[in-house]
Amino acid sequence: MLAVLYFLLFAGCGVGIVTWLLPKKTPVVRVWLGLALGLALEMWLPALCAFFFTFSLAAHGAALGLLALLTWLAWVFRDPSPRAGWTARDRRLAVLLCAVALPLTVIGGILQFTHNLLPGDNGALYTGQSTYGDLHLHLAIASSLRNAAFPPDYSIMPGELLAYPFLTDSLSTSFMLMGFSLRASIVFPGIWMMGLTFSGYVLLAARMADSKKGAVLAVLFFFLNGGLGFLYMVDMQGKVLGSANSNSLQSAAGLLDRIRLVLNEYYWTPANHWEFGTYNLRWSNVIVDMMVPQRTTLGGWTQVIPCVYLLYDALRPENGAAALPPADGPTAVRRRKTVSWQQTALLGVWAGMLPMINTHCFLALGLMSAGWLVWDAIKSRKQIGACVAFWAVYGALAAGLALPQMLTWTFRQTVGNQDFLNLHFNWVNNTGSDLSNIHLQDGYLWFYIKNIGLPFVLLLLSLLEKNEKRRFMASGAFVIFLAAELIQFQPNPYDNNKLFYIWYMLCAVLAADYALELLDRLKGLRARPVIAVLAAVMCFASGTLAVAREINSPSTMRRYAPPYNGEAVAAAAFVEENIPQHAVFMTANDSFNFVSSLAGRTIVCGPDLWLRYHGFDTDLRKEDISNFYKDPAAGSGILEKYGVDYILVREAECAMASDQWEWMSYAQRQQMLDELNGQMSRLFPLIYSSDSGGIRIYAVEAQTE
């Protein structure tokens, strides 16, 4: 209850702040912006106070004081303009939200509920398909930040500053501190953020698109994205041309059989198929592969969409308004839109909060802003003073708030690390290592046509038309595209998709408007409905299959061993109740480590699946862990080196101690586990053993005394 009241207080204050600062905005927009701002403040204010109190209930209490101060300042510096009332436009927006955003939120809520530590038989905890890999990192961060000193270290790489944007995960920590379980602290804010993202993009598309139909189509283009990969399933149905491990989309003859396989197998969806070398399908569906598993991206989208809305709103007239008249004919000098200083300041502060919520969102917004700055300066050259004033205030506030974050966290991890910021052409289509070694798997344009599908073709065609609004939107969007297309920002090139999707947020509107324009030109053609249906199939087949597969995945994932069986869950409960919160464990570096993920304790080294892509070299730590488990009696120096307090022994630890583990029989593995436990029990006191003996925890203190 305390967590819910705390959450509602921030949400209410957020709505109040926006209402006072932006009274001219319609009520629907004010409420959405206010709820998103409240969430941003609930992420940020406790974290700021944690520098003085640790991330504790005391810090959260102090954050309420800051919230009260900010709310009071918003009232003091409020815009005195009359507050906009409820109008027919609001009714249309409300209907749009109920018809589009609400069903999507229901789907998102189902996925959040079923994909994050879903309880199973005998106390086991399961995930869905898309959360099978990423969830456990977010669990480890969220559960380890309780009462942590700030700035925190990685709990899976102690001694290294947690430079990964952690505020979405620390939001879950806040819920845990106030009584929520780990599962509830992930699911509840996850559903809320999905609702804000769906609603925000609906309102953004409604603000940008030429019509409400265009807004709806843009939303469908963005959230049901997937490309043309489904055509592999349609092709050559009369033959079986593949197998489970090679050309699996054609491993059955009939279309229905192929669909059944897609809906039941692990990452066989034609939006992002695991056989990258065979299909090169990489345009992941944003709902199932971004919003559900990548919580930092989800949190970032809840905040960057309001920033894009406010920036676009500051530069463009309202939809349906007359075009801004040119001042001197062909030179097309326009009359600038008047923007309150409150909106400019709020935009700058909001943008400045982005880096530690999601750095890619901050970068994408900055690139977009650069493109729109150039466009605005050219178009406003006879009012250059007003242009400079707006961009100076917005830029100074955003940069002033962002720079301390970048210096404290981002630059410390990336500067001097050769795995970051490398030139790399054509995203994941290029398997070469640098610009001197370019090897495209698909033809350049065909790669994007195949992956993004018909909306990409519509986008390119829309840019051929003489339309000022579309060219304005493209001037910001394609700066993002060029950067993501030419620079690899992180060790994993695929992560550039976090920039491409912000580009696509804008471009989906352009494609939707142009699609409806073409459809309108076909009026009177009897084949028009057929053309529309065929186009819809081309646009949404792959994305719909991806969403359907993910909804079905919790049941199909039961075929595999759960990430955490009942014994692991029970052991995590023991650790939670009996072992100090920031104790250090010697464990294997496996992904499904209940010590780090469920109990939030520190381990010597986490998995390469995350740490390598965060720029860390884990080889030395993994070698030390292996050497310790090979000869525990000679490992006191290793324990002292990492300040280890407790030792975990499972099959995963035995696997790190043996190069032959994969080829051992069950009996041989059990014998090795028994031998390792025998050595440990002679050196350290046993403080916990699971019912089967497959999980044992030893204390180090007896040896070090």
Where along the chain do its domains lie? 566-704
> pLDDT value at position 302?
98
Task: Give the tens place of pLDDT for each residue, 325-359.
Answer: 444 444 445 567 788 999 999 999 999 999 999 99
Q: Return the C-alpha torsion angle 365, 370, 375, 380, nearest 10.
A: 100
Dihedral pair phi/psi, residue 421, rounded to 5°:
55, 70
pLDDT of residue 1: 81
Question: If you write DSSP's letter for every residue of 618-669 in order, what string do you get?
Answer: -HHHHHHHHHHHH-GGG-HHHHHHHT--EEEESHHHHHHH-TTGGG--HHHH
When pLDDT is averaged across residues 47-65 and rounded to a whole number, the result is 96
> Environment class of residue 436 by beta-carbon count within 10 Å: exposed (0-12), middle (13-18) or buried (19+)?
exposed
Per-residue pLDDT, averaged over 621-642, amounts to 94
Over residues 140-169, mean pLDDT: 96
> Helix or strand or coil: residue 617?
coil
Q: Is the pLDDT of residue 413 over 60?
A: yes
Q: Find where tokens 């209490």 sit.
A: 61
Q: What is the DSSP string of 468-502?
A: HHHHHHHHHHHHHHHHHHHEE-SSSGGGGHHHHHH
Asked if residue 91 has pLDDT above 70, the reply is yes
Q: First-to-last CA distance in the chain?
A: 44
Q: How far is CA 294 from the centre of its chain?
A: 4
| 672-685: average pLDDT | 93
Q: What is the pLDDT of residue 194?
A: 98
- The architecture that CATH gives domain 566-704 is 3-Layer(aba) Sandwich (3.40)
Given this model, what pLDDT does residue 325 score?
Answer: 47
- Asked whether residue 520 carries a pLDDT value surpassing 70, the answer given is yes
DSSP annotation string for 291-350: ITT-HHHHHHHHHHHHHHHHHHHHHSPPTTSPPPPPSSGGG-PPPPPP--HHHHHHHHHH
What Rg value do the Cα atoms of the chain yield, rounded? 27
Q: What is the pLDDT of residues 537-556, one digit of tens each?
A: 999 999 999 999 999 999 89
* HEC-encoded secondary structure of 425-444: CCHHHECCCCCCCCCECCCH
Per-residue pLDDT averaged across 382-407, rounded?
92
Residue 420 has pLDDT above 50, yes or no: yes
**Is 322's pLDDT higher than 50?**
no
Residue appearing with tokens 């189902």:
110
Q: What is the pLDDT of residue 646?
A: 97
CA–CA distance from 206 to each of 149, 229, 319, 617 (Å)? 43, 29, 9, 46
Neighbour-count burial of 8, counting CB atoms closer than 10 A to its CB (0-12 exposed, 13-18 middle, 19+ buried): exposed
| Per-residue pLDDT, 338 | 83
Separation CA 93–CA 87 (nearest Å): 10
| Mean pLDDT for the chain overall | 93
Put residue 563 in one of left, alpha, beta given phi > 0 → left and psi -120 to 50 → alpha. Answer: alpha
Decide the pairing of beta strands 584-586 and 646-649. parallel
Q: Kindly tell me the sign of the dihedral angle through the C-alpha atoms of 511, 517, 522, 528.
A: positive
358 and 297 in contact (C-beta within 8 Å)? Answer: yes
d(CA 144, CA 171): 12
As given in the structure block, the two tokens for residue 38 are 């409240």
What percent of the chain has pLDDT above 90?
85
Global pTM? 0.95
What pLDDT does residue 319 have?
Answer: 56
Note the pLDDT of residue 576. Answer: 96
Q: What is the pLDDT of residues 479-497, one digit of tens each?
A: 999 999 999 999 989 999 9
pLDDT of amino acid 703: 46
Inform me whether the pLDDT recorded for 264 exceeds 80: yes
Give the confidence band of 515 by pLDDT, cuts at 50, 70, 90.
very high
